[in-house]
Amino acid sequence: MTLSTILTRIDTDLDNALDRLMELLRIPSISTDPAYKADCAKAADWLVEDLKSIGFDAASRPTPGHPMVVAHGGEGGTHVLFYGHYDVQPVDPLNLWHRDPFDPAIEETDKGKVIRARGASDDKGQLMTFIEACRAYVAETGKLPCKITIFLEGEEESGSPSLVPFMEANAKDLTADVALICDTDLFDANTPAITTMLRGLLGEEVVITGPSKDLHSGMYGGPAINPIRVLSNIVANLHDDTGRITVPDFYEGVPELSDELRSQWEALGFDDKAFLGDVGLTTPAGEKGKTVLEQIWARPTAEVNGITGGYTGDGFKTVLPSVAKAKISFRLVGTQDPLKIRDNFRQWVRDQLPPDCSVEFHDHGAGPASVMATTNPAFAAARAALTDEWPNPAAFTGSGGSIPVAGYFKTILDMDSMLIGFAMEDDSIHSPNEKYDLRSFHKGIRSWARILDALSN
C-alpha cells in the first residue's frame, strides 16, 4: 500500500528532514525588525527553492513588506491551500536563551528530544511538516497526492499588514476547496485536534468624563460626580449573577453546543483543575452551568482588559478625577454580529450615564467568530487520518482566541479552514528557548501524509 511506504520513507528520511529544517532555522527572519529584512527575503527564497525541488511551481512574490511565497503543484482530489509563515518573533531578552537562537540543535530533555531554536515551533517547524509530507509523497509516487497551493507569509509576527491586500489582489490564485493552517497546538501530547471554532473579538475603549477638570476630593467630594464610580457601576452591571452578559440582544446568534461536539469534548477528558491550577485558580468563574471548555471555546465573554482613572502612582493623592477609562473586549461565537453588539453596548452604556457625565468610545476592532462548515467531507477525512496516527482520536475543538487569517480565508476567499498543528503548550513560542518536540515534527509529517492521502481521492 502506497501510504505505508510513504510513512516508512518519512521515518527513514527523518534526519535529512531535520537537516533541512535546521537550514531554514539558521536564517534569522525576524519580520518586525528592519535590520533583518534581507534575512526574511532569504528565508522566502530558501522555501521557493525547496518547493521547486519537489516539483512545485513556486515564486517569491513582492509586497510592500516582506515577500509572500506562493506555490502550485499536483492535480485531482481535494484542492487544498496550505498556509504557514516563515517569519519569527524577536529573540530578546537574549541572555535568557541557553544557546544562540539561530544556531539550532537537537537537545535531550526530560520529555524527550526537542529541536531548540527561534521558530522551531512557530512556525518553521510546523510548516516544514507539510512540505516534508509532500516531499515523501513525490519521492515515493513521483507526484503530489492532490492539487496543492502553498501560501507562506513573512509578516505574521508583525501584524500581517500585506496579508489582506495580497489576498484580495490574488484571490483567484489562492482560492482552493479548503484551507489548511498549521499554526496551532495538539490538544495534548497524545490527542490531535482540528480547530473548527475560533471566537471573534470586539474591542471597545470607554472614556467617561465627569467634572471638566481634576478636583480636590476634600473640596468637591460629595456633590461632584466621580467618573471612576460611574465606570465601576457600568463594569459591575456588565454581568448578571449567573455570569451572563447583560447587554441587550447580546446572545443573538449564540448557538447551543451540538450533542456531537459535546460528546467529543467530554471524551477529551479536559482537566479543569489543572488548567485553572496552573494560574493559581480553583473555581470556574464563567457562566453558570457551562463547562470550562464550553466557556472558553463556545461561549461569548466580556472582559475588562484595562481600567484607569485618577492617581495611580505610589503614595496617595486626594484627587477626584475628571476622566476614567476602561478597555473592554467581547469574545464572540456563532453568528453574533460584532457591529450590532457594538451599537447595543454603546447605547447600554449611554443609558446608564448619570447627569453631567459624557462618554466617548474608541473602536479597537470588530471581527466575527469563525465557525467552520465541518459538513465539508474534508473535515471527517482529516479527522480519521489524524486518529490513525495518534494514540487518541482526533477531536474538533474550539479556540478561545482569534486567528485572523482563518477569518480572511472565509470572508475574502470563501474557504473554510482546518487548523491542524502539532505544537505543545510548553513550546515557549514568543519566549526564550523556543523548542519543537522531535515527536511533533516526526508525527506531524506522518499526519499530513495521512491527511493528503485521504484528500487525494
Please list every residue from 161 through 200 that binds a copy of itself, using CB under 8 A. Answer: 199
Q: Supply the minimum distance, in Å, between the C-beta of residue 143 and a copy of itself.
A: 40
329 and 204 Cβ atoms separated by less than 8 Å: yes
| Cβ proximity to a copy of itself, 276 vs 384, nearer residue | 276
Among candidate residues 198, 151, 77, the one with its CA nearest the CA of residue 451: 77
Q: Is 329 in the site for a copy of itself (CB under 8 A)?
A: yes
Least distance (Å) between residue 347 CB and a copy of itself: 20
Q: Which is nearer to a copy of itself, 142 or 289 (CB)?
A: 289
Q: Which residue has the cell 499588514?
A: 161
Q: Does 432 bind a copy of itself (CB under 8 A)?
A: no
Contact flag: residue 417 with a copy of itself (CB under 8 A): no
Q: Does 315 bind a copy of itself (CB under 8 A)?
A: yes
Min separation Cβ 369 and a copy of itself, Å? 12
Binding window for a copy of itself (CB under 8 A); candidates: 85-93, 95-103, 170-178, 303-311: 303-311
Residue 354 binding a copy of itself, by CB under 8 A: yes
Is 216 a binding residue for a copy of itself by CB under 8 A? The answer is: yes
Q: Of 239, 244, 340, 346, which one interacts with a copy of itself (CB under 8 A)? A: 239
Contacts 24+ apart (CB under 8 A), 266-272: 267/393, 267/395, 268/187, 268/191, 268/293, 268/395, 268/397
Beta bridge partners of 437: 114
Contact in structure between 80 and 408 (CB atoms under 8 Å): no
Q: Which x/- pattern over 46-85 shows residues binding a copy of itself (rule: CB under 8 A)?
A: ----------------------------------------
Among 201, 382, 386, 415, binds a copy of itself (CB under 8 A): 201
Position among 222, 259, 289, 414 found at the interface with a copy of itself (CB under 8 A):
222
CA distance 412 to 174: 10
Q: Which of 98, 99, 260, 311 binds a copy of itself (CB under 8 A)?
A: 311
- x/- binding map, residues 364-383, to a copy of itself, per CB under 8 A? xx------------------
* 305 counts as binding a copy of itself under rule CB under 8 A: yes
Asked whether the beta carbons of 51 and 58 are under 8 A apart, the reply is: yes
Contact 75, 147 (CB under 8 A): yes
Q: Which residues of 188-198 are buried (b: 16+ CB within 10 A; e: fewer)?
A: bbebbbbbbbb
Crossing angle for the helix pair 14-25 and 2-12, nearest 10 degrees?
A: 60
Q: Got the DSSP string for 422-455?
A: -B-GGG-TTSTT-EEEHHHHHHHHHHHHHHHHHH
- The packing angle between helices 438-455 and 2-12, to 10°, is 160
257 and 289 Cβ atoms separated by less than 8 Å: no
Number of residues that bind a copy of itself (CB under 8 A): 79
Site mask for a copy of itself (CB under 8 A), range 258-297, x = bound: --------------x--xx--xxxxxxxxx----x--xx-
At closest approach, how far in Å is the CB of 370 from a copy of itself?
13
